[in-house]
Structure 1
C-alpha cells in the first residue's frame, strides 16, 4: 500500500444511488406512500424526494398531501416502509466496489456522507462491505442535512482535511448542492446532466472513474 504524500486529499461519497442501488427503492416507497394517501402526482412527489432524509421527505409529503398527522409519524411510517423494501439484498452500483478497492489500495482517506439514518447504514453493511470508510456521517449526525453544507463539512473534518481538498461523489441535485456549498470538488454520477451546480464534474457511471482521475480532479484538472 502506497500513499502519495505530495498531495493531501480525500474522497467523500454519498451512499444511496451513488454507491448502492437503493435510490430507486426509496423513491418507490415515497410514491406508494403518496398513492396510499390519494396523492394526485405520486411520481412527481417521489422525484422531489430524491436525496432527502426522512425528516425532509416527511415535511414534503405532509405539505404536498395536506396531511394532518405529525411529521414524526410520517417519518416513522416511511422508515418502516423503507426497511421492509430494503429487506432483500442491497447491491452495489456498477464500478463502486472496484473504485473503493482502488482508493483503499492507494491509501486515499475515505468518508461516507449520507442522508440515510445510521440504522439504515448498519442494515446495508450486512449486505455489502462498507469497511473502506474511515468515518461515516449520517442524517443522525448533523442538525442540518443535505442540501445544507454541514454533512460534507463534517465529513472533511472527520478526515482532518479542508473541504476544498475533498472530492465528493454524488448522484442527486440535493447532494451536489450540499457538496458545492461546502466548498468541495464535486463529481455527479449518473444520467443527471441538467441543472447541475456550476463547476461540477459529470460522469455517466462510477465504472468510468479511477484513482488517477480523482487525483487529477483534486488537483484542479478539468475533465
Structure 2
C-alpha cells in the first residue's frame, strides 16, 4: 500500500471519503488492457473469444492469467501467462495514459474540499508507478494495489483496506467503479457504490454515464444517503 502526503493531525475528522477504482474509472486504460487480452487469446488459440475477454474486465493480473490458462487449456504456467500479459500491457502503455472525461477536475475538487481520497486498483504496484509518470496521482492519501491484499477484487479486502487506512468505516465511503468485479468488491465491503459508464449495469448501485456528471455536492449527498435536488 502506497501512502501519500498525510493529513494534518489537527485537521477535523472527515465525515466521509471517496475510494476510486483506477482503470476505466479514472484512467483510460481498461480498453488497452482488453486489447492486450484479446490479442493474447487470438495468439494462443487462433480464434476470437469476446466473452472470455469481457470476463477479464476488472480482474487482477494473476487472476486474469489463471482464467486464461484454464479456459484456453494452455500448457504455460499461470506465472508465464501473467508475465506475458504484464510485458505486453506495459508495452501498450508505453506512450502514456490519460484521464477519463471529468476525472481530473473531480479529484481536484474533492481534494480542495478536503475529502479523503483512496485509489483502489486491481493493477499491480509497478503499473501504478508507471502511470504516475504520466498523470499526477499525488492527490490520493492512500493507494491500494493488487499487491497489498491477500484477496483482490471481487473480494471486499481492497476496499476494506483503503477505508481502514483513511480511518473511516467502509459504510461512510463512496466507491467509484466501472466494472461488475469492482462494484461487487466495493458493495461487499459496505461502500455506497457509483458505477461509471453506460455499459455496466450493477443492481443496488447508482449509475452515471461519466464522471463529467459527478461533483462534490453529489457525492456528499450520496455519502449521506440522500441525493441533491
What TM-score do you get using the length of structure 2 for normalisation?
0.92
Match in the other structure for 1:155? 162
Could you report, residue by residue, the CA deviation over 1:151-190 in whole angstroms, capped at 9, with x for unpaired residues? 0000100100000000000000000000000000000000
Runs of 5+ unmatched residues, structure 2:
1-10
Equivalent residues of 2:178, 2:200 under 8 A apart: no
Q: CA deviation at 1:5?
A: 5.5
Matched, 1:205 2:218: no
Residue 193 to residue 222, structure 1, CA distance change in 2 (3 Å): farther
On the 8 A contact 1:168/1:186 being kept in 2, the answer is yes
Q: Does the residue aligned with 1:46 lie in a helix, a strand or coil?
A: helix
User: Equivalences for 1:159-178 in 2 at 5 Å?
Assistant: 159-178=166-185
**Superposition map of 1:27-176 within 5 A:** 27-176=34-183
Query: For the structure 1 residues 156 and 93, does the alpha-carbon distance in structure 2 shift closer, same or farther, using more than 3 Å as the test?
Result: same
Measure how far apart 1:71 and its partner are: 0.5
TM-score scaled by length of structure 1: 0.94
Is residue 62–residue 82 contact of structure 2 (8 Å, CA) maintained in 1?
Answer: yes
Alpha-carbon deviations, 1:118-176, whole Å to 9, x = none?
Answer: 00000000000001101100000011000000000001001000000000000000000
| Shift >4 Å, 4+ stretches | 4-7
Q: Give the number of equivalent residue pairs.
A: 218
Structure 1, unmatched stretches of 5+, are: none
Secondary structure in 2 matching 1:37: helix
Distance 1:182 1:7 in 2: 19
Alignment partners' CA distance in 2, 1:162 and 1:6: 13
Q: Distance in 2 between matches of 1:124 and 1:6?
A: 31
Question: 1:40-78, CA deviations, whole angstroms, 9 ceiling, x for partnerless residues?
Answer: 343222111100100110011001100011101100110
**What is the DSSP-based 3-state SS (H/G/I as helix, E as strand, rest coil) of the residue aligned with 2:45?**
coil
Superposition deviation, residue 191 in structure 1: 1.0
RMSD of aligned residue pairs (Cα, Å): 1.5
Aligned position for 1:187: 194
Q: Structure 2: how far apart are the matches of 1:6 and 1:72? A: 43
- SS state of the match for residue 175, structure 1? helix
Change (3 A) 1:152 1:103: same
Partner of 1:219: 224
